[in-house]
Structure 1
Amino acid sequence: MLLITEKLKIEFQKAKRIFLENQKFCIISHRSPDGDAVGSNLGLRLALESLGKEVVSACVDPAPENSSWLKKADTFVTDFNYEDFDAIVSVDCGALKLFVFHEAKPEILSGQKPFINFDHHISNNGFGTVNPVAPEECSTSIIIYKFLQFCEWPVTIDIATCLMHGIYFDTGGLMHSNTSGEVFKVVSDLLSKGANLRKIVKELFHTTPINKLRLWGRIMERTYVNEDSVTISAVGKSDYDACNSTSHDTGGVIDYLNAVPNSKYCLLLSEDEKGLVKGSLRTQRDDINLSDVASQWGGGGHPKASGFGVQGKLMPVMSWKILSEGGNEAHGTEIKF
């Protein structure tokens, strides 16, 4: 039996009623979507379409290449008319700013129409009119799975594949600490329904173009551990140009930074194509809450995986320390240029 809290059941019931009583829906994934943002979006969309509903998937950025093979991943739109829909749905948006569309369409937050907010991030403050938010879950895709089970709506092969894709991505291939016994039970059920795990594994973790490898090489080459035992690296636009790549090609490399022994956590700073510097944080330790770390710069996420974004660009700083002739660091002078 699935574990669904009473609070989540109440939100599920509200969401179910909205879906049954309305016809047209727009499901929105967070900017720079990942496997879970795409998988949960399409899994829910396909389920609603099987009920005869009209659904559009939207995101300000396109689906990443490793998720583009999922059914209808190529139909995401980058803009839409609010008046065309009966209700708006967000998936995997850990903070309102990741939703983005409300900036040009503030009426989304007016309460004129239902706004269902499915998410699993602890940083989510419940910005929808209905909020099926469960920070204890490994992914938004597993919340969608539980919602479909709650509603007793069928899960087809394509739906199973989309949800498996999201779960597999957000658990790091079922290896992260958020992979509970229940997660394996859900994965087993999705496999029994025909989820294409082999394709998921290949696309998410076993397909790396040469330009992406070159970019990762640059990131790894400049990786260092600072005096606070934090593993840090950075990558910018000049690196993308040199490697014929984009900011999306940084995906996955942080798992290698997170493997540095005796490191408290790791941080990857990366410029994107829109003038934003993104910080991605990961840790293997149980005594560090990266959501608190990311919140210092307006970000958030999970205790072991979080992120933030700051407008600007990266500027490298070299630091040298001059030691006394005997090599005594206590009398060294630090020089930065």
Structure 2
Amino acid sequence: MSLFWRIFALNAVVLGTATALLLWAPVTVSVPVVLTEAIILVGGLVVMLVANAVLLRLGLAPLDRLTKLMATVDLLRPGQRLATQGGGEVAEVIRTFNAMLERLEQERAISSARVLMAQEAERRRIAQELHDEVGQSMTAILLGLKRAADNAPEPLREELREAQEITRESLDEVRRLVRRLRPGVLDDLGLVSALTSLAEGIATHTGMRVGRRFDAELPELDPQTELVLYRVAQESLTNAARHADAERVTVALRHTEDDVVLAVTDDGCGITTPREGAGIRGMRERALLIGGSLEIAPTSPAGTQVTLTAPVSRKQP
């Protein structure tokens, strides 16, 4: 029975009972009203109000839960649904809301996949141009400076060597940018080698101690899953270096029968605010892209652990 008919039936029963009492029972209302009659009238009013309040509270409680979910729902954490029981308008509203969430999550996953693929394609293009154009041009400049320094008189030779050293450092920075934009070692040598190279690079560049714990026999993964694992590790290490003030970070990669689990744990200042920035939301979107889940939690006594659980998806032959 719908909420409308339940309220209507309740009020009809109460008012019908009161009418029957006035018609057939020896109940009268005097003028002025005597105490007994006032007690009966007020008691009937209280019963009707309490019954209506209880019915409305029970009937509208699912709408309160729906309102709270609507205020806190996050499409990057799929699966948030309300249970529905019975029929009626309220149950139909909840079922419609659940169906809408399902569609929104699917559309969000599709749009995020397109954005991330376009982003990776653009990174690949920029990395290629930096390597082919800027890198080769700076290499040519470096060789020209070397030849000029070899043939220049002593006062000028020292200045040319300084310019040569600056150019060499700039070329190294361009190469680091290329590796960050598109890790060639990931395509050539696989995930473990790419994570090892990433950890060593972060340790050298920031001074953090980066430990590694990788399972000996990891399953073969499709390129999309490997890239997501690499990008999440990269973002986690960058956050630990920039924001957590960490001294030591551990990158662990293990597998179960159905999943590969990446865990990046630091000993920094920990999570100080529940608000998530673009970097963390980007990691969540990447996790959804491969059907995985991302958890960010504080560790004891201090620090943060980022855990990505990715389902094993074998490479296609």
**TM-score, normalization by structure 2:** 0.25
Compare the two structures and name the one with the higher strand fraction.
Answer: 1
**TM-score, normalization by structure 1:** 0.24
Compare the two structures and name the one with the higher helix fraction.
Answer: 2
From the CA coordinates, give the structure whose radius of gyration is larger: 2
